[in-house]
Amino acid sequence: MPITEILQKNADIYPNDISLVEINPKFERQRTSWREYSLIETNSREVYRKEITWQDFNCRANRFANLLLSRGVKKGDKVAILLMNCLEWLPVYFGALKSGAMAVPLNYRYTADEIKYCLDLADADVLVFGPEFVGRVEEICHKAKKVKTWLYVGEDCPTFAESYEELVGYCSSKAPAIKLTDDDDAAIYFSSGTTGFPKAIIHKHRSLMHAAMTENNHHSQTKEDVFLCIPPLYHTGAKMHWFGSFLVGGRSVLLNGIKPEWIMQVAAEEKCSIVWLLVPWAQDILDAIERGDVKLEDYDLSKWRLMHIGAQPVPPSLIKRWKSYFPNHAYDTNYGLSESIGPGCVHLGVENEHKVGAIGKAGYGWQTMIVDENKNPVERGKVGELAVKGPGVMTAYYKDEKATSEVLRDGWLFTGDMAEEDEDGFIWLVDRKKDVIISGGENLYPVQIEDFLRKHDKISDVAVIGLPDSRLGEIATAIVQVKEGMTLSEEELQDFCLDLPRYKRPHKIIFADVPRNPTGKIEKPKLRRIYCGESVVAQQNEIK
């Protein structure tokens, strides 16, 4: 069934139960007890805690769907979403789906040029954006090829847009009469290869439903569970994990902040039972406990039953350390790609903590295969490319038949990740076929950083690779070859990099020659052996 039917079901069965809670720790609050909050309006009308019921959620989605229809949006049109996590995010997403349109979530870290590129690539007809993005959107609002409707969520609507809140207030809260099926296109998510140019990934309603079923099968969410969602909702990881709770009408909390004391406080106050973390956040929590900044006796965490991690390799030492403080937590890790509707095509399983370090086995409804360069299965224990198959595989890359044909064959998605299967059938990632750097759960694309650095008039050549980092997983490292006869300091280069978004700036700079092969390609395997060989070997020994 289409994923929108789950929202209607929850609204029918649990109309007055809380569906979503938004917590903003940076804003003022008054509290008399953990369940009683005085919602104080500040200058920005923001409050510490806001919530909506399932009926509210469904009505908001219906109103937005009817607004879109009144603006001529048709089945298959594209509605882009550029919002920070907030109560409006998911009603906007589901409103787009209910109108028959495709939801197109955008990374909130995109620059103005990247926003325009993705809007054009997806043929977006509508953009819904928040106050954090006014400057970036204003830069490109007259340049986007197809966007006709610019909807602003927040106060002080800019002149080039229309107020979302004002417009939806005039729209019907009844579900629009749009017939949807499992085979209808539902969403476009963005991914990228080593070139750094995003690809638009098409998923049907069937994919979204399967993500919900997979997540619920893996982690057994019930109506009583409370899911703490910290990662951004544009990411398939956050939303598809939330889908497991959504499927059963469970309450979810959107926390806008990653400080350890905020996570602990909200997990205690909201009685959260399931928390999904990235490696750096788990590391920060443990460090805060060991420094004494967070005292566990100050928090009632008795409801917290599951901690799971995804988006990057998980050091076994981290989980051992976590379990020493939280021995009653079940632990799981998930592997996935946006092309496989996010996490869950491979997962470890809460019963397999003895295999921490592996990504696990095929998830619910999924198949896995490890193949050689000719796409033939390799023997167990041999390294090859990981391929996955299941109802959550993407339909295609939008308007890119060549790229689609390179990764899809007979229903199999070839991930580009190198892996091997051990004697017990567990899959271990060995290396990435692509050069993408995963730092703190975010993908960094070396070519983008290299192209920027090459603009410096003292740089002859440059290569960017990932070096292991205990907190972020990897850090972007630039190997810089300075032009003959010139000098360049690290401080000078770091100042030059201030024009890059913060998350793309190299964490480490090494001044050295950049090796290239006879065809002119940078020999990145050689660079990895030179600069991170010992660290990688140590990490692999820890995993094995």
Structure tokens at 140: 């490109």
Going by C-alpha positions, the residue among 407, 365, 326, 109 that lies closest to residue 213 is 365
Cα 485 to Cα 127, 458, 459, 460, distances in angstroms: 50, 9, 11, 11
- The closest of 473, 474, 478, 444 to 192, measured between CA atoms, is 444
pLDDT at 543 over 50: no
Higher pLDDT, 15 or 276: 15
Rounded to 5 degrees, what angle do the CA atoms 341, 345, 347 make? 130
**Other CB atoms within 10 A of residue 478 CB:** 25
Give the CA distances from residue 52 to residues 87, 117, 191, 400, in Å, rounded to whole numbers and listed in that order: 8, 34, 31, 40
pLDDT mean across residues, the chain: 89
Across 442-466, average pLDDT: 85
Give the percent of the chain with pLDDT over 70.
91
Phi, psi of 311 (to 5 degrees): 80, -15
- pLDDT at residue number 484: 81
Fold of domain 4-257: Rossmann fold (3.40.50)
Nearest to 216 by CA among 91, 363, 71, 361: 363
pLDDT confidence of residue 433: 67
One-letter amino acid of 159:
T
> From CA 538, how far away is CA 525, in angstroms rounded?
17
The pLDDT value recorded for residue 279 is 80
Amino acid 482 reads V
* Residue 78 confidence (pLDDT): 98
Q: What percent of the chain has pLDDT over 90?
A: 68
Domain 316-432: homologous superfamily in CATH = Luciferase; Domain 3 (2.30.38.10)
Locus of tokens 């050069």: 435
Given a cut of 80, is residue 439 above it in pLDDT? yes
- Tell me how far apart the alpha carbons of residues 488 and 500 are, in angstroms, rounded to a whole number: 19
State the average pLDDT over residues 249-273: 95
Asked if pLDDT for residue 238 goes beyond 50, the answer is yes
pLDDT over threshold 90, residue 450: no
Which pLDDT score, from 0 to 100, does residue 436 have?
76
Cβ contacts of 410 within 8 Å, gap of 6 or more: none
| 163, two tokens | 């107020």
In our burial notation (b when 16+ CB lie closer than 10 A, e otherwise), range 217-256 reads bbbebeeebbbbbbbbbbbbbbbbbbbbbbbbbbbbbbbb
User: Which of 71, 218, 222 shows the shortest CA–CA distance to 151?
Assistant: 71
> What's the Rg (C-alpha) of the chain?
23
Mean pLDDT, residues 253-272 taken together: 95
Tokens of 386: 């990981």
- Mean pLDDT, range 69-98, rounded to an integer: 97
Cα 24 to Cα 264: distance, rounded to the nearest angstrom = 14
Residues 89/51, Cβ–Cβ less than 8 Å: no
| Most confident listed range (92-101, 252-261, 284-293, 316-325) | 92-101
In the chain, list all ranges with CATH 2.30.38.10.
316-432
Residue 520 has pLDDT above 90, yes or no: no
Look at residue 519 and tell me whether its pLDDT is greater than 50.
no
Nearest CA to 380 among 429, 421, 428? 421
Q: Is pLDDT at 419 greater than 90 in this prediction?
A: no
Burial of 64-94, coded b for 16+ CB within 10 Å and e otherwise, reads: bbbbbbebebeeebbbbbbbbbbbbbbbbbb
Distance, CA of 333 to CA of 314 (rounded, Å): 8
What is the pLDDT at residue 237? 83
pLDDT (0 to 100) of residue 194 = 39
Q: What is the pTM of this model?
A: 0.82
Domain limits, CATH 3.30.300.30, in the chain:
437-543
The pLDDT value given to residue 432: 64
Burial class (CB in 10 A: 0-12, 13-18, 19+), 515: middle
Identify the band that residue 533 occupies on the pLDDT scale cut at 50, 70 and 90. low
Which segments of the chain belong to CATH 3.40.50.12780?
A: 4-257
Per-residue pLDDT tens digits for 29-59? 444 333 333 333 333 445 689 999 999 999 9
pLDDT confidence of residue 46: 54
Class (C level, CATH) for 437-543: alpha beta
Q: pLDDT for 372-402, tens place per residue? A: 989 999 999 998 899 999 999 999 999 999 9
Give the residue, 457 or 117, on which the prediction is more confident.
Answer: 117
pLDDT at 196: 56
Chain centroid to CA 249: how far? 22
Largest CA distance in the chain: 74
Q: How confident is the model at residue 313 (pLDDT cuts 50, 70, 90)?
A: low
Average pLDDT over residues 182-200: 81
The per-residue pLDDT for range 99-150, each reduced to its tens digit, is 999 999 999 988 899 999 999 999 999 999 999 999 999 999 999 989 999 9
Check if the beta carbon of residue 308 is closer than 8 Å to that of residue 334: yes
10 Å Cβ neighbour count for 161? 19
pLDDT on residue 517:
60
